[in-house]
Structure 1
Amino acid sequence: MSDKEVILTRSGLKKLEEELEYLKTVKRKEVAERIKIAIGYGDLSENSEYEDAKNEQAFIEGRIATIEKMLRNAKVINDEEVGTDVVTVGSTVVVKDLEFDEEMTFTIVGSVESDPEGNKISNESPVGMALLGKKRGAIVEVNAPAGVIRYQIIDIQKGE
């Protein structure tokens, strides 16, 4: 991961800080205990419990380093920066799919927080990029693998 700026909402920052705390205080201890028990089994060259625990330890340490780097490069979106006149990171946007006449709601977040199933889309995604900077009533076109999707912005609200 490069040193590029990581855009986070307040809730996204809180989630990352909580995950970091959990990994450092709980998971590290759990894995250290698993390694200690596995060493007690003897011969480490054919000890799958030891190998699994060491692999998990490496994953946890890698995730801790990644989160720490994200937090160092974080730009937290201030609630005052999120308005309701144009779509910005942190906005919740109600759009209407003009082809299917369906309304959908998206919250625009930084890529670290994106969760399409939770209707949180990245500002770097095709839909997110198309919506950014647009006003209520605007029609945007998104190039998708299935073709061009046309949305009309129905409402813009402050996120979360």
Structure 2
Amino acid sequence: MEKIPMTIGGQKALAAEYEHRTASERRRIVEAISEARAHGDLSENAEYSAAKEQQSLNEGRIKELETILALADVIDISKLSGTTVKFGATVTYIDEATEEEKTYQVVGDPEADASGGRISISSPIARAMIGKEEGDSFEVSAPGGARSYEILKIKYV
């Protein structure tokens, strides 16, 4: 399997989620299952079914987190620099059609959160920005047609 690039902050957040799910959530769900079992007939016990489904979802996410953390290629972006866009860069760009300015950090897939200002390195917009410099324009295919953007600022923090 391929390594998964991520920032130190992203790795810490996933490790914290893993810890929460294995320590707190697991215990809470087991208690909910025990309580539901005490209500009697399991075949018609909605609480039991719901708790078992929660357990299944939680265990699935735990396995997913274990895999991601095992394959993590943690990159310290404080040691990165340069004038071109690459992993870890915080990029401010402007939509050439609407004049709307946006700022995003290019991060790994597991830590991407557009509403939090982080986009995945594998997203179409990040792929289009990679290797570009301040002042460069780039184009991204969108469902409504191609969109053009211009990079205003690149920084590594």
Structure 2-normalised TM-score? Answer: 0.94
Q: CA deviation at 1:151?
A: 1.1
Is the 1:84–1:91 Cα contact (8 Å) retained in structure 2? no
- Aligned partner of 2:7 in structure 1 is 9
- Aligned partner of 2:38 in structure 1 is 40
Q: CA deviation at 1:81?
A: 5.0
Give ranges in structure 2 of 5+ residues lacking alignment: none
User: What's the % identity of the aligned pairs?
Assistant: 38
In structure 2, distance between residues paired with 1:53 and 1:62: 14
In structure 1, distance between residues paired with 2:132 and 2:145: 21
In structure 1, distance between residues paired with 2:141 and 2:126: 12
- Aligned partner of 2:57 in structure 1 is 59
In structure 2, distance between residues paired with 1:40 and 1:103: 57
In structure 1, distance between residues paired with 2:27 and 2:131: 46
Instruction: Pick one of 10, 28, 31 that aligns with 2:29.
Output: 31
Return 44-53 or 57-66, whichever deviates more: 44-53
> How many pairs are equivalent?
157
Instruction: Provide runs of 4+ in structure 1 moved above 3 Å.
Output: none
Give ranges in structure 1 of 5+ residues lacking alignment: none
Is the 2:78–2:156 Cα contact (8 Å) retained in structure 1? no
In structure 1, distance between residues paired with 2:19 and 2:64: 13
In structure 1, distance between residues paired with 2:49 and 2:100: 51
After superposition, the CA RMSD in angstroms is 1.3
- Aligned partner of 1:77 in structure 2 is 75
Q: CA deviation at 1:109?
A: 1.0
